[in-house]
Protein backbone atom coordinates (compact mmCIF):
# COMPACT_ATOMS: atom_id res chain seq x y z
CA UNK A 1 0.00 0.00 0.00
CA UNK A 2 1.49 3.32 -1.05
CA UNK A 3 1.48 6.10 1.52
CA UNK A 4 -1.44 8.52 1.07
CA UNK A 5 -0.11 12.03 1.70
CA UNK A 6 -3.67 13.26 2.26
CA UNK A 7 -4.47 11.06 5.25
CA UNK A 8 -5.55 12.96 8.36
CA UNK A 9 -2.32 12.38 10.30
CA UNK A 10 -0.22 13.60 7.38
CA UNK A 11 -2.34 16.78 7.38
CA UNK A 12 -1.90 17.19 11.14
CA UNK A 13 1.86 16.66 10.79
CA UNK A 14 1.97 19.37 8.11
CA UNK A 15 -0.08 21.72 10.30
CA UNK A 16 -2.98 21.71 7.84
CA UNK A 17 -5.41 20.30 10.39
CA UNK A 18 -5.69 21.04 14.11
CA UNK A 19 -4.94 18.54 16.85
CA UNK A 20 -4.33 18.71 20.57
CA UNK A 21 -0.64 17.88 20.84
CA UNK A 22 0.55 16.28 24.06
CA UNK A 23 4.13 15.47 23.00
CA UNK A 24 6.36 16.26 20.05
CA UNK A 25 9.99 15.80 19.11
CA UNK A 26 11.86 15.50 15.80
CA UNK A 27 10.61 11.96 15.18
CA UNK A 28 7.41 11.41 17.17
CA UNK A 29 4.09 13.23 17.63
CA UNK A 30 1.41 12.41 20.21
CA UNK A 31 -2.10 13.87 19.97
CA UNK A 32 -5.39 13.39 21.79
CA UNK A 33 -7.87 11.07 20.08
CA UNK A 34 -10.95 13.07 19.08
CA UNK A 35 -13.21 10.10 19.90
CA UNK A 36 -11.68 8.94 23.20
CA UNK A 37 -12.43 5.41 24.39
CA UNK A 38 -11.00 6.07 27.86
CA UNK A 39 -10.28 9.12 30.09
CA UNK A 40 -6.79 9.18 28.59
CA UNK A 41 -6.66 8.25 24.90
CA UNK A 42 -3.61 9.46 23.03
CA UNK A 43 -2.35 8.52 19.56
CA UNK A 44 1.40 8.26 19.12
CA UNK A 45 2.81 8.38 15.59
CA UNK A 46 6.21 8.43 13.97
CA UNK A 47 6.64 11.50 11.78
CA UNK A 48 7.89 9.42 8.87
CA UNK A 49 5.41 8.31 6.16
CA UNK A 50 4.76 4.73 7.30
CA UNK A 51 1.39 3.15 6.52
CA UNK A 52 1.45 0.53 9.29
CA UNK A 53 3.61 -1.30 11.80
CA UNK A 54 4.67 -3.67 9.00
CA UNK A 55 5.78 -0.79 6.80
CA UNK A 56 7.57 0.87 9.74
CA UNK A 57 9.31 -2.40 10.54
CA UNK A 58 10.51 -2.89 6.95
CA UNK A 59 11.63 0.67 6.19
CA UNK A 60 12.81 2.05 9.53
CA UNK A 61 15.99 1.00 11.30
CA UNK A 62 16.00 -1.06 14.49
CA UNK A 63 17.14 2.10 16.32
CA UNK A 64 14.23 4.14 14.93
CA UNK A 65 11.77 1.46 16.03
CA UNK A 66 13.32 1.19 19.47
CA UNK A 67 13.31 4.97 19.87
CA UNK A 68 9.63 5.11 18.92
CA UNK A 69 8.55 2.56 21.52
CA UNK A 70 10.82 4.04 24.20
CA UNK A 71 9.20 7.41 23.52
CA UNK A 72 5.76 5.86 24.03
CA UNK A 73 6.75 4.83 27.54
CA UNK A 74 8.07 8.34 28.17
CA UNK A 75 4.74 9.81 27.04
CA UNK A 76 2.80 7.38 29.26
CA UNK A 77 4.89 8.51 32.21
CA UNK A 78 4.28 12.20 31.43
CA UNK A 79 0.55 11.52 31.22
CA UNK A 80 0.68 10.04 34.72
CA UNK A 81 -0.28 6.54 33.58
CA UNK A 82 2.55 4.67 35.25
CA UNK A 83 1.00 4.02 38.65
CA UNK A 84 -2.32 2.56 37.60
CA UNK A 85 -1.22 1.28 34.22
CA UNK A 86 -2.28 1.64 30.62
CA UNK A 87 -2.94 -0.29 27.43
CA UNK A 88 -0.99 0.09 24.22
CA UNK A 89 -2.84 -0.92 21.03
CA UNK A 90 -1.95 -0.83 17.37
CA UNK A 91 -4.52 -1.80 14.76
CA UNK A 92 -2.97 -2.99 11.51
CA UNK A 93 -5.20 -3.57 8.49
CA UNK A 94 -8.87 -4.35 7.93
CA UNK A 95 -9.55 -7.05 10.57
CA UNK A 96 -8.28 -4.73 13.27
CA UNK A 97 -10.26 -1.77 11.99
CA UNK A 98 -7.28 0.46 11.07
CA UNK A 99 -8.85 3.64 9.72
CA UNK A 100 -6.03 6.10 9.10
CA UNK A 101 -3.24 4.69 6.87
CA UNK A 102 -0.41 6.25 8.89
CA UNK A 103 1.09 3.97 11.55
CA UNK A 104 -0.02 4.91 15.06
CA UNK A 105 -0.24 3.43 18.52
CA UNK A 106 -3.13 4.07 20.93
CA UNK A 107 -2.33 4.76 24.58
CA UNK A 108 -5.39 4.11 26.72
CA UNK A 109 -5.73 4.63 30.46
CA UNK A 110 -7.45 6.35 33.33
CA UNK A 111 -10.01 3.61 33.96
CA UNK A 112 -10.28 -0.15 34.32
CA UNK A 113 -10.10 -1.33 30.72
CA UNK A 114 -12.25 -4.21 29.46
CA UNK A 115 -11.79 -6.78 26.71
CA UNK A 116 -9.01 -6.08 24.24
CA UNK A 117 -10.66 -7.87 21.33
CA UNK A 118 -14.23 -6.60 21.64
CA UNK A 119 -15.70 -9.81 23.00
CA UNK A 120 -18.44 -9.61 25.56
CA UNK A 121 -17.11 -12.58 27.50
CA UNK A 122 -13.51 -11.59 27.90
Reduced to 3 states (helix: H, G, I; strand: E, B; else coil), residue 53 is helix
Give the nearer residue to its own copies in terms of CB position, either 14 or 99: 99
d(CA 78, CA 42): 12
**What character string, x for contact with its own copies (CB under 8 A) and - otherwise, covers 2-31?**
------------------------------
102 is catalytic: no
Least distance from its own copies to the Cβ atom of residue 71, Å: 9
CA dihedral over 9, 79, 89, 25, signed as positive or negative: positive
Q: Is 34 in the site for its own copies (CB under 8 A)?
A: no
C-alpha dihedral (70, 16, 34, 72), degrees to nearest 10: 0
21-58 in b/e form (b: 16+ CB < 10 A) is ebbeeeebbbbebeeeebebbbbbbbbbbbbbbebbee
Q: Which of 1, 2, 95, 99 binds its own copies (CB under 8 A)?
A: 95
Going residue by residue from 37 to 76, which x/- string records binding to its own copies, judged by CB under 8 A?
xx--x-----------xx--xx--xxxxxxx-xx-xxx-x
CB of 120 to its own copies, least distance (A): 8
Query: Should residue 89 be labelled a site residue for its own copies when binding is judged by CB under 8 A?
Result: yes
| Catalytic site positions | 104
Amino acid sequence: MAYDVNNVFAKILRGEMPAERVYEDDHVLAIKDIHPKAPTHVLVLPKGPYTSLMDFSIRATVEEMGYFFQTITKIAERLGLNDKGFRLVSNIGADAGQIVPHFHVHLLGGKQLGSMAGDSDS
